[in-house]
Structure 1
């Protein structure tokens, strides 16, 4: 991600929460060249990478078979916030912290088969689909989780003051969406989830992603050791970067969020630099990796649907993405947890509901994780 200073529909005029910047590079796409895209949730988006369009025939059916989807609408029923009628839409993007199978070595921890939403971003696409505001929700935020029915049909009672990422652990994707909607009173129009293994492979398929750090980052727990300077990160290094929390700031999830937001922008920029349209084999390899890496809501559960939707977002590049963290304050009872700064958070949700810029007051004097010392200019 670049440390872009262009005001956007997020906090106008405010600097991006980025712990490194992307150096300019790659070829500029000729004006008028048609680009089709396969949008994937990339950590925390995250977020959004536009790849080349998929072919037909065998390739189509192969890619279609890779996709996994969840019928969120059926699981949650009609007791939800109303859909916006102003041309905007909201997407919940999760990075899943799975502790089983091939992800164990990437995520660490016990092989207990559990899963958590290690990263959560609410992506608000503004009317006209030319700009987006991204709000990261710290996984350590204490929230009131609504009653949820898990994918196994088991009903989980509502709980007060539990960690936000417990919603995914307890009830899967539908519970995560329901919890976000209860916090924000915003309807989530779509859901995208990406796993560790797919994320790592995707970065490698793109040939790495270039970032610039302003300070050394050394975190043995995420296996990340970067000296200050410019680096082209491999998939394994990129995964370490978006997972590190002890190598930056105060060691909290808030500092890590700044790295995740910055890397998401760098990933979007890198994807736009790769000219897959002239290399069908590269195109297929990227599309194959991307479709294996993600889980979507059922409305996006086919290649055709995903391509059609992604094509409408192709104009949203790094300079048109504004990122903030949900306003929070440290929990006085536990320094490892945060609480929603309710008045300021309400300013954010109201602005997005009305498809307006997030007011500067919403992010003033909120907890940041003290990671600003590694922010690139």
Structure 2
């Protein structure tokens, strides 16, 4: 979802002034070349909204290399150096008619097939019938994360971004902090987090500790951390979307600069025109039509500390994504979240009507949607797919609170 925030900010950056825009553009890091399932790189978009569906993967690495500060110690560097693990992975899917978006969080502890991946120094890293998802970044770089996510979601993902700890700190600093609701006190010595109940404005290292916290949230699992991250990103997007941020040239510049300085983009979206195109694609999607979901999983029968794809719910989600169909959540939040006092569930998109009979599940094999400039945009889909209660999540418009354990 950070990719969405980056695009919105860069597109709005015209009001920052010529110097600010030039300085921000110069901060864009060299692009990462992805080896996709189709073995080719799509053309860069024009400076207008993209045509057709858009799929972008965001991976958060836990590497300590080059992070400095609280992570610059021998224990941290020994534990996770180099590329690191993709401890956070999200896939943003924007519908072909640009009316709704879905953000799928893939659990780090998910055991699933991993395909053959390009080696970091050439050649091929053999795949695995069953591997832990968060090993894919260190196994074969960002391309390996994308290829594995394509198998899980049924989407073709031509664009991706990689963010480190410093990126989360910089983004929260740039917007002056993100206000989140804490239902019960949170204490997590592993992440260095102590928060009292109530509304807390998180900034800098405290914001990072919040999105990293696992032991202090919900049931202490990575699934609880996912719902916490969904809550934080929803709050961040609402703040970016608020009049106070969008009308402040200095804040816009700081946010744009923080984003592009701390994120490595794939070479398909590393040009300024690509970011503007992405922003124009996203600008008309309302907060209530941005849906965060956790990829459906169940406990691994061979290891209670791992999860496997839910054999009934996962195909339904894959079918909805591949058919570009709006999603209707059951109303169940993740294990680390509760509804904010007095809040109401966000309504489904006005153009959708839940269907009592979802279409049959599609096979989980990627099929590249048309996202090339000038491609025809399909007519809006009229029928939404209601997801089973095992698929948890929230919309960006929903007010939710984090539940400590």
1:94 paired residue number: 59
- The correspondence of residues 154-193 of structure 1 with structure 2, limited to 5 A, is 154-193=123-162
Partner of 1:71, secondary structure, is coil
CA separation in 1, counterparts of 2:191 and 2:69?
A: 13
- The correspondence of residues 335-354 of structure 1 with structure 2, limited to 5 A, is 335-354=304-323
CA separation in 1, counterparts of 2:13 and 2:148?
A: 33
1:363–1:110 CA distance, 2 compared to 1 (3 A): farther
Give the CA deviation at 1:247: 0.5
CA separation in 1, counterparts of 2:192 and 2:100?
A: 35
Whether the 8 Å CA contact 1:94–1:119 is kept in 2: the answer is yes
Deviations 1:20-54 (A, max 9, x none): xxxxxxxxxxxxxxxxxxxxx52xx7x64532324
CA separation in 2, counterparts of 1:59 and 1:365?
A: 46
Instruction: Choose the corresponding residue for 1:113, options 82, 98, 103.
Output: 82
Deviations 1:301-355 (A, max 9, x none): 1122211221221123432211211110011222211011133211101111111
Give the CA deviation at 1:201: 1.4
1:125–1:367 CA distance, 2 compared to 1 (3 A): closer
TM-score, normalised with respect to structure 2: 0.73
CA separation in 2, counterparts of 1:373 and 1:293?
A: 28
1:283–1:133 CA distance, 2 compared to 1 (3 A): closer
1:199 paired residue number: 168
Instruction: Choose the corresponding residue for 1:270, options 239, 242, 248.
Output: 239
Instruction: Choose the corresponding residue for 2:26, options 42, 46, 65.
Output: 65
CA separation in 2, counterparts of 1:317 and 1:199?
A: 24
Give the CA deviation at 1:62: 3.3
Answer yes or no: is 1:301 the counterpart of 2:273: no
Whether the 8 Å CA contact 2:154–2:321 is kept in 1: the answer is no
Count of residues in Structure 1 that have an aligned counterpart in Structure 2: 326
Give the CA deviation at 1:58: 5.3
1:11 paired residue number: none
CA RMSD of superposed structures (Å): 3.0
TM-score, normalised with respect to structure 1: 0.78
CA separation in 1, counterparts of 2:99 and 2:37?
A: 31
CA separation in 2, counterparts of 1:153 and 1:275?
A: 48
Deviations 1:6-25 (A, max 9, x none): xxxxxxxxxxxxxxxxxxxx
Partner of 2:76, secondary structure, is coil
1:78 paired residue number: 38
Partner of 2:283, secondary structure, is coil
Partner of 2:62, secondary structure, is strand
Give the CA deviation at 1:57: 5.7
Partner of 1:78, secondary structure, is coil
Whether the 8 Å CA contact 1:327–1:362 is kept in 2: the answer is no
Whether the 8 Å CA contact 1:63–1:303 is kept in 2: the answer is no
CA separation in 2, counterparts of 1:101 and 1:241?
A: 21
Partner of 1:98, secondary structure, is coil
1:223 paired residue number: 192
1:237 paired residue number: 206
CA separation in 2, counterparts of 1:279 and 1:336?
A: 46
CA separation in 2, counterparts of 1:278 and 1:215?
A: 34
CA separation in 2, counterparts of 1:144 and 1:363?
A: 24
Partner of 2:199, secondary structure, is strand
- The correspondence of residues 9-88 of structure 1 with structure 2, limited to 5 A, is 41-42=1-2, 48=5, 50-51=8-9, 52-54=12-14, 59-68=20-29, 69-72=31-34, 75-76=35-36, 78=38, 87-88=52-53
Partner of 1:53, secondary structure, is helix
CA separation in 2, counterparts of 1:272 and 1:203?
A: 15
1:323–1:279 CA distance, 2 compared to 1 (3 A): closer
CA separation in 2, counterparts of 1:104 and 1:127?
A: 43
Deviations 1:137-162 (A, max 9, x none): 00110011111113421421111211
Whether the 8 Å CA contact 1:104–1:110 is kept in 2: the answer is no
CA separation in 2, counterparts of 1:61 and 1:151?
A: 32
CA separation in 2, counterparts of 1:59 and 1:373?
A: 36
Whether the 8 Å CA contact 2:228–2:402 is kept in 1: the answer is no
Whether the 8 Å CA contact 2:175–2:251 is kept in 1: the answer is no
